[in-house]
Every structure is written in C-alpha cells, then in structure tokens.
C-alpha cells in the first residue's frame, strides 16, 4: 500500500461518524445492552435470594445477549461500510446467532498460536541453560525474543482484538478469519497501528462531545425542573423524597424515579454512539488493509501447520497405545512366570519300603528270634525267604 493510499485510508476514518445515522444498528445495540442489563439485574436479585449458581447462569445468559446483539449490529454496519444497504434487524440477528461463535473460536485459535510461541521460547531458554554455550546463545536469543514478543503483543492489541470481529462479520469462517488477521499483521501492522490510533482518538472526541452535551443538558434540565416543579433544593430536592413538603411518589421521590428511568434510557443511547463509531471504523480499517495481502498463502500455511500438528498428535497417541499394550503384555507374561515358579503343592504318596525292610518288620510286636544261615539277617517264623539275601529259609 502506497503512502497516498495510507493517507486516503486514514482520512476515510472520518466517515466512521456516519455510523450515528444507522438507526437500526443503533437500536439493535441498544436493545442488546438494555436486555443484558435486565438479565444481569435479575441475576443479582436471584443471587441474594436463591443462590450463586443460578446467578452465574443469568450472568452468562446476559453476556450471551450482549455478545450476539453487538455482533448483529456489527453485521449491519459491515453491510453499510461495504456499500450495501444494512440488512433487516431480524436477518442480522439470525446471522449473528449462526456465525458469531466463529469469533470465539478464532480468538481461541489465536490464543493457541500464542501459547505455542511461548512454549517454543521457553524451550529455547532451557537450551540456554547449557554451561558455557548457554550465555553465548542467550546473547542472540534475548534481542530476537524481545523483538518477536513485542511485535506479537502489538499485533494482538492492534490487529487481532479489534479486527477479529469485522473478519467474521465479513463472512469468514474460523480458519479464514485467523488467516486474514495473521496476513494483515504480517504485512500491514504499522499501517493498522496508525489507523487504530486515529480511530481511538476520533472515538474519544465523539465521546467527549456527547458527554459534554449530556452533562450540560442534565444541569439545565435539573435546574429548571427544581424551580418549575417546586422541588426545593434542586437535584437534592428530587432525591429528597419529601423535602419541601412532598412525600411518597407525589413529591421528590416520584420525580427522581422518573428522572432515573428516562435519564437512563437517554444516557444509554448517548454512550452507545461512540461504540457505533468504533464498530464502523474497525470495519473500515479491516477492509482497507485486507486488500493486497496474501490471505490464500497464509491460510494454506496455517492449514498445513495444523495438519502437521494433528498428525504428530495422532502419532503420539498411537505410540502411547502401543506402549500401553506392550506394558500390559509384559505384565501378563510376568504373572504367568510367577505362577509357573510356585505351583500348588499336590499330596505325595509315602515312599515304599524296600522288600528287605518290609520283611524285617516285626509281626505282632514280637521281636525276631531267628537268623538267616546265609547272611545272618534276622527273620521271624513263617518267612519263606531271607529279606536281605533271598536265601530260602527253613520252615
């Protein structure tokens, strides 16, 4: 982008004030803020009377109402910035309900990328703990990491956070939105920083003028009301609830309640206007810096990186499953060997006595009185052969 184009893009930010004329988008944003505030208020009442858990549910519900409502207003503003008529309120709300979750997913994906970068930096710093070689490496790692971390932080605050929503409002899905943000951050980060600074200044000026208008009008209205409505004490008379002789809702308290209700509405409308300018300007910054960047190449690179990480995760899961199976098989084999080494003890029969010993056993508890003529081995009457040498014995 040339310098002339940059100046033209920066100058076009002044047209962001035109968002104040988009009444339908303003109505959607205001309705979302009011509805969210009512849900949060109901949650606060339930927190006191019922419990914290139910109040948390209502808090999340109110946040969802505000989130989808603001995104619906942003979709209508994006239509206007692209030169097309803003879509109807119902269509914008339906589109927001169908697509706004992409913004959360895109921010989560960007957060995962930043977390991976921090892990890589931590690993490099661990390598720098090597004795002797570590300090030498750190002389290079330190300045490089300072520059990269600083650029990443600026890209987060100047590109990712303000331009992620316009990317989704432009119709990009999650991966496309992240690819566009990274492509803009790589090629146009300085230009985006300048334009976002100018936009922030413009929003601050609009908010300052609106605050001046609202405060001045409040002072004049309260002063006249105190005199015309006979509420002595000015604004304190409105708050007094009976000061100057008025009591109940017929006096100061009634006027104070009316002032709070009407003033709350008008102040909500007034301070929604700077938000409209911010949304309009963010859409302009996004569209002007998207032109000419290599979004397709960044998306292909990001997809390839994600596929490689997915394959690596699958390989790690497969290796873990194999290791678990091998450990289970080894445990089963060890258990089988242990059972084989210590079998159950079976009852064993008593060893049989040798024939000589058995024949030499006393009968009827009478000691033997005869001996074999061949070997002299004792025997008892009635034996036919010697139990030691087998000699036939005399009967």
pLDDT tens column, 84-123: 888 999 999 999 999 999 999 999 999 998 999 999 999 9
pLDDT tens column, 13-37: 666 777 778 888 888 988 888 888 8
58-87 average pLDDT score = 91
pLDDT number for residue 189: 85
Same domain, 176 and 290: yes
Same domain, 169 and 278: yes
The answer to pTM > 0.75 is no
348 in a domain, yes or no?
A: no
Same domain, 191 and 72: yes
321 in a domain, yes or no?
A: no
User: Nearest to residue 253, comparing CAs of 263, 243, 262?
Assistant: 243
378 CB-near residues (< 8 Å, 6+ apart)? 360, 368, 369, 370, 371, 372
- Domain end: 274, 308, 342, which one? 308
Same domain, 302 and 371: no
pLDDT number for residue 106: 92
329 in a domain, yes or no?
A: no
316 in a domain, yes or no?
A: no
pLDDT number for residue 222: 82
pLDDT number for residue 371: 79
pLDDT tens column, 245-288: 344 444 556 677 677 777 777 887 787 888 888 999 899 999 88
374 in a domain, yes or no?
A: yes
Same domain, 113 and 234: yes
Q: What is the largest CA-CA distance in the chain?
A: 159
Alpha helices in the chain (DSSP H): 3-12, 23-49, 52-81, 89-99, 101-127, 133-155, 161-169, 174-228, 235-240, 252-290, 295-341, 355-359
- Domain end: 271, 291, 308, which one? 308
- Domain end: 290, 308, 326, which one? 308
Same domain, 390 and 284: no
What's the token pair of residue 85? Answer: 């008529």
Same domain, 114 and 247: yes
Same domain, 145 and 223: yes
User: Nearest to residue 254, comparing CAs of 266, 268, 237?
Assistant: 237
Same domain, 91 and 165: yes
Query: Cα–Cα distances in Å, from 389 out to 33, 358, 359, 383, 385?
Result: 121, 14, 12, 13, 8
Query: Cα–Cα distances in Å, from 31 out to 39, 203, 254, 362?
Result: 12, 21, 26, 118
User: Nearest to residue 157, comparing CAs of 116, 118, 107?
Assistant: 107
Same domain, 90 and 189: yes
138 in a domain, yes or no?
A: yes
Is residue 12 predicted with pLDDT exceeding 70? no
Whether 372 and 388 have beta carbons less than 8 Å apart is answered as: yes
Same domain, 261 and 380: no
| Domain count along the chain | 2
User: Nearest to residue 225, comparing CAs of 204, 244, 212?
Assistant: 244
Same domain, 224 and 372: no
pLDDT tens column, 147-188: 999 988 888 888 888 899 999 999 899 989 999 998 888 888
Rounded distance between C-alpha atoms, residue 181 and residue 185, angstroms: 6
pLDDT tens column, 190-214: 888 888 888 889 899 989 998 999 8
337 in a domain, yes or no?
A: no
| Domain of residue 65, residue span | 3-308
Is residue 345 predicted with pLDDT exceeding 70? no
377 in a domain, yes or no?
A: yes
Q: Give Cα 199 distance to the centre of its chain.
A: 30
């Amino acid at each position: 982008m040339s310098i002339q184009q940059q100046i033209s893009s920066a100058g076009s930010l002044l047209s962001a004030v035109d968002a104040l004329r988009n009444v339908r988008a303003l109505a959607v944003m205001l309705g979302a803020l009011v509805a969210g505030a009512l849900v949060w208020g109901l949650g606060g009442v339930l927190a006191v009377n019922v419990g914290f858990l139910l109040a948390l549910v209502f808090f999340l519900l109110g946040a969802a109402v505000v989130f989808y409502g603001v995104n619906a207003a942003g979709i209508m503003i994006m239509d206007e910035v692209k030169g097309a008529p803003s879509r109807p309120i119902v269509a914008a709300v339906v589109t927001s309900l169908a697509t706004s979750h992409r913004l959360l997913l895109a921010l989560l994906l960007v957060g995962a990328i930043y977390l991976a970068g921090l892990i890589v930096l931590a690993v490099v710093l661990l390598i720098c703990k090597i004795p002797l070689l570590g300090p030498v490496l750190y002389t290079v790692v330190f300045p490089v990491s300072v520059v990269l971390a600083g650029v990443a932080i600026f890209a987060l605050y100047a590109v990712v956070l303000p331009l992620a929503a316009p990317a989704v409002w432009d119709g990009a899905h999650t991966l496309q939105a992240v690819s566009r943000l990274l492509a803009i951050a790589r090629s146009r980060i300085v230009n985006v920083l300048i334009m976002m600074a100018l936009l922030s200044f413009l929003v601050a000026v609009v908010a300052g003028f609106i605050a001046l208008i609202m405060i001045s009008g409040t002072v004049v209205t309260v002063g006249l009301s105190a005199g015309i409505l006979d509420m002595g004490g000015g604004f304190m008379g409105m708050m007094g609830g009976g000061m100057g002789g008025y009591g109940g809702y017929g006096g100061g308290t009634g006027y104070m309640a009316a002032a709070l209700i009407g003033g709350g509405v008008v102040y909500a409308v007034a301070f929604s206007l700077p938000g409209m300018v911010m949304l309009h300007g963010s859409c302009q910054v996004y569209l002007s810096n998207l032109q000419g960047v290599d979004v397709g190449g960044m998306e292909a690179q990001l997809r390839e990186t994600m596929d490689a990480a997915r394959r690596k995760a699958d390989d790690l899961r497969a290796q873990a499953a194999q290791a678990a199976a091998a450990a289970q098989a080894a445990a089963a084999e060890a258990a089988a060997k242990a059972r084989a080494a210590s079998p159950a003890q079976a009852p064993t029969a008593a060893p049989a006595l040798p024939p000589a010993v058995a024949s030499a056993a006393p009968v009827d508890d009478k000691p033997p009185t005869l001996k074999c003529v061949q070997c002299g081995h004792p025997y008892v009457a009635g034996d036919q052969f010697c139990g030691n040498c087998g000699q036939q014995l005399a009967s």
